[in-house]
Amino acid sequence: MSKKLKLGVFGLGSVGQGFYELLDQSKNPNLEIKKIVIKNPTKTRTIESSIFSTTPTDILDDPEIDIVVELIDDAATALEILKLSLQKRKPIVTANKKMLAENLEEIFWLQRKYDTPVLYEGAVCGSIPIIRNLEMHYAFDTLESFEGIFNGSTNYILTKMIDEKSNYEEALNKAQKLGFAESDPTLDVKGYDAKYKLAITIAHSFGCFVKPEHILNLGIDKISAHDIRYAKQQGCAIKLIAKAEKIGNKVFGIVAPTLVPVENPLASVKNEFNAINLIGASTGLQMLTGKGAGSLPTGLVVLSDVASLASGFKYSYPKITNDNPVVFETDALINVHVSFSEAGAIRLTDFEEFTGGYQGEDGHFMTGWIRIKKLAEWVDRNDLSVIVLGDTPFKVYESKKEQELSLA
Amino acid sequence: MSKKLKLGVFGLGSVGQGFYELLDQSKNPNLEIKKIVIKNPTKTRTIESSIFSTTPTDILDDPEIDIVVELIDDAATALEILKLSLQKRKPIVTANKKMLAENLEEIFWLQRKYDTPVLYEGAVCGSIPIIRNLEMHYAFDTLESFEGIFNGSTNYILTKMIDEKSNYEEALNKAQKLGFAESDPTLDVKGYDAKYKLAITIAHSFGCFVKPEHILNLGIDKISAHDIRYAKQQGCAIKLIAKAEKIGNKVFGIVAPTLVPVENPLASVKNEFNAINLIGASTGLQMLTGKGAGSLPTGLVVLSDVASLASGFKYSYPKITNDNPVVFETDALINVHVSFSEAGAIRLTDFEEFTGGYQGEDGHFMTGWIRIKKLAEWVDRNDLSVIVLGDTPFKVYESKKEQELSLA
Average pLDDT over residues A351-366: 89
| Nearest residue of B to residue A269, measured between CA atoms | B265
B346, B374 in Cβ contact below 8 A?
no
pLDDT single digits (tens) B305-335: 999 999 889 999 999 987 778 999 999 999 9
- Comparing CB atoms, the residue among B132, B140, B285 nearest residue A303 is B140
Taking the Cβ of residue B51 and every Cβ of chain A, the question of whether any pair is shorter than 8 Å is answered with no
- pLDDT one-digit tens code per residue, B62-117: 999 999 999 999 999 999 999 999 999 999 999 999 999 999 999 999 999 999 99
Provide the pLDDT for residue B126: 87
Q: What is the pLDDT of residue B403?
A: 58
Lowest mean pLDDT among A403-407, B137-141, B282-286, B377-381: A403-407
pLDDT tens readout for residues B177-225: 887 777 789 999 999 999 999 999 999 999 999 999 999 999 999 998 8
Q: What is the average per-residue pLDDT within A205-215?
A: 97
Closest CA to B168 of B243, B235, B219: B219
Euclidean distance between CA atoms A240 and A146, whole angstroms = 14
Domains of chain A with bracketed CATH = 5-119 (3.40.50.720), 131-291+324-389 (3.30.360.10)
**What is the pLDDT of chain A when averaged over all its residues?**
93
pLDDT score of A2: 56
Task: Return the minimum-mean-pLDDT range out of A17-21, A172-176, A380-384, B44-48.
Answer: B44-48
Of A28, A141, A296, the CB nearest to B300: A141
pLDDT tens digits for A224-283?
888 999 999 999 999 999 999 999 999 999 999 999 999 899 999 999 999 999 999 998
- Does the pLDDT value for residue A404 go beyond 70? no
Residues of chain A positioned with their CB less than 8 A from the CB of B301: 137
Percent of chain A at pLDDT exceeding 90: 80
Q: Given this model, what pLDDT does residue B48 score? A: 87
Q: Does A290 touch chain B (CB under 8 A)?
A: yes
**Cα gap B343→A237, rounded to integer Å:** 47
Q: Is B127 on the interface with A (CB under 8 A)?
A: yes
Rounded average pLDDT over B128-150: 93
Q: Which of B97, B197, B239, B319 is catalytic?
A: B197
Which of A101-110, A134-143, B358-367 has the largest mean confidence? A101-110
Q: Which of A90, A195, A197, A243 is catalytic?
A: A197
pLDDT of res. B1? 45
Checking if the pLDDT of A147 tops 80, the result is: yes
What element of type H or E holds A142? none
Distance from CA of A132 to the nearest CA of B (A): 9
Q: How far is A148 from chain B (nearest CA, A)?
A: 14
Chain A and chain B share a number of CB contacts under 8 A equal to 126
Strands B31-37 vs B5-10: parallel, antiparallel or unpaired: parallel
A72-100 b/e with 16+ CB inside 10 Å = b? Answer: beebebbbebbbbbbebebbbbbbbbbbb
Distance CA A343, CA A133 (A): 48
Active site residue B43: no
Alpha-carbon span A261 to A252, nearest angstrom: 21
Q: Name chain A contacts of B22, Cβ cutoff 8 Å.
A: 140-141, 282
Q: Do A137 and B140 touch (CB under 8 A)?
A: no
Could you tell me the end-to-end alpha-carbon distance of chain B, in angstroms, rounded to an integer?
65
Q: In a mutagenesis test of the A interface, which of B136, B146, B289, B296 is the best target, namely the one with the most A β-carbons within 10 Å?
A: B136
Banded model confidence at residue B41, pLDDT cuts 50, 70, 90: confident
Q: What is the mean pLDDT of chain B?
A: 93
Is the CA virtual torsion B362, B364, B369, B372 positive or negative? negative
Q: Is residue A5's pLDDT more than 50?
A: yes
A291 Cα to chain B: minimum distance (Å): 7
Q: Assign B375 a pLDDT band (cuts: 50, 70, 90).
A: very high
Average pLDDT over residues B11-37: 94
Say what the pLDDT of residue A1 is.
Answer: 45
Q: In this structure, which long-range contacts are made by residues A174-181, counting pairs with CB atoms below 8 Å and at least 24 apart in sequence?
A: A180/A152, A180/A153, A180/A156, A180/A272, A180/A293, A181/A153, A181/A156, A181/A157
Selected residue with higher pLDDT from A311 and B35: B35
CB burial of residue A231 (10 Å; 0-12, 13-18, 19+):
buried
- Contact: B286, A289; criterion CB under 8 Å: yes
What is the model's pLDDT at position B27? 86
Residue B1 contacts A where some CB pair is shorter than 8 Å: no
Ranges A88-102, A280-294, B79-93: which has the least confidence: A280-294
Is the CA virtual torsion B12, B13, B19, B20 positive or negative?
positive
B406, pLDDT greater than 60: no
Burial class of residue A201 (count of CB atoms within 10 Å of its CB; 0-12, 13-18, 19+)? buried
C-beta atoms of B283 and A127 within 8 A: yes
- Name B123's Cβ contacts closer than 8 Å, sequence gap at least 6: B94, B95, B96, B97, B100, B196, B197, B200
Judged by a CB distance cut-off of 8 A, whether residue A117 touches chain B is: no
Phi-psi group of B347: left, alpha or beta (phi > 0 → left; psi -120 to 50 → alpha; rest → beta):
beta
Distance CA A329, CA A375 (A): 15
Question: For residue A212, what are the contacts with CB-CB under 8 A and spacing of at least 6?
Answer: A101, A102, A192, A195, A196, A199
DSSP string, A70-92: E--S-HHHHHHHHHHHHHTT--E
**By the CB < 8 Å criterion, does A297 face chain B?**
yes
Question: Does A139 contact B304 at a Cβ distance shorter than 8 Å?
Answer: yes
Q: Do B304 and A136 lie within an 8 Å CB cutoff?
A: yes
pLDDT band with cut points at 50, 70 and 90 for residue B259 = very high
pLDDT for A122: 95
Distance CA B180, CA B177 (A): 8
> Cβ neighbours of residue B401 under 8 Å, at least 6 residues apart?
none
What pTM was computed for the model? 0.93
The pLDDT of residue A400 is 64
Lowest mean pLDDT among A5-19, A316-330, B47-61: A316-330
> Are A137 and B282 a contacting pair at CB < 8 A?
no
Determine the average pLDDT of the residues in A186-205: 97
